[in-house]
Amino acid sequence: MRIVLLGAPGSGKGTQAQKLVAGHGIPQVSTGDLLRAELKSGSAPGLRAKADMDAGRLVADELVLEIIKRRLEMDDARNGFILDGFPRNCTQAQDLAQLLRQIDKPLDAVLLLDIDMDILRKRLTGRRTCSVTGKVLNIHFSPQQDLDASIAAGGELVHRADDNDETIARRLNVYQEQTRPLIEFYKSIDLLRVVDAMGTAEEVSERIQQALKY
Ligand code: ADP
């Protein structure tokens, strides 16, 4: 099965991709993760991507395409893959279509994780990580007792560097302006399946299973 997960930053693509990996035995291919790995290894593409990533802008298309091409050629992607965070603009969608045509492996479905922008903003701005347990919490949505437990354990609720207001606003803008047009594109070629992404991760996962049945 070859799937694209489409959705704004914070819509839960990463979480749902991991659930699909567990259920279908095909790899999650996240351009965000691949770029962060390049950066960590100190490679030339990683260093080129850094400034854009830090600022919440899209990294150059040809760089992302090169990375994704290499990843999809790997053995474990032979029977399918879940693309998470790619494509993110029209050029990337065209590049992907061409790449998959060349290897004769068309997409089966594009799942749109649909979520209210206000909730999204709260998910992103409220996200904190407990410095003791590493647990990801949200000051707007987590039960008060979980937040209190973290403090009681001597933990601090740490705000991720790329979750600052300015970068979040830019990431959401980039999504609105460059990624949202892909919804119409995939609808027009009959690949789009819209999934309500509000509720718990389990509820969303169940909706995805249903959406993949038809
Ligand atoms: P988010 O959930 O905030 O979108 P990601 O981990 O998917 O986080 O991506 C982090 C950053 O990596 C993006 O803000 C962008 O700079 C870069 N990036 C990821 N995927 C792509 C892509 N397909 N094209 C260009 N840049 C990308």
Pocket of ligand 1 (CB under 6 A): 9, 31-32, 35, 52-53, 56-59, 64, 85-86, 88, 92, 171
Q: Is 149 exposed, middle or buried (0-12, 13-18, 19+ CB in 10 A)?
A: middle
pTM: 0.86
Q: Is 104 exposed, middle or buried (0-12, 13-18, 19+ CB in 10 A)?
A: exposed
**pLDDT tens digits along 46-105:** 999 999 998 889 999 999 999 999 999 999 999 999 999 999 999 999 999 999 999 899
Which residue lies with its CA nearest to atom 18 of ligand 1? Answer: 32
CATH code matching the domain that covers 2-115+168-211, chosen among 3.40.50.300, 1.10.510.10, 2.60.40.10, 3.60.20.10: 3.40.50.300
Which residue lies with its CA nearest to atom 10 of ligand 1? Answer: 32
Tokens of 72: 């999809």
Q: Are 87 and 182 a contacting pair, CB within 8 Å? A: yes
Which residue lies with its CA nearest to atom 1 of ligand 1? Answer: 9
Catalytic machinery residues: 13, 88, 127, 160, 171
Q: How many whole angstroms from 30 Cα to the centroid of ligand 1?
A: 9
**pLDDT tens digits along 128-160:** 989 988 888 899 989 999 999 988 989 899 887
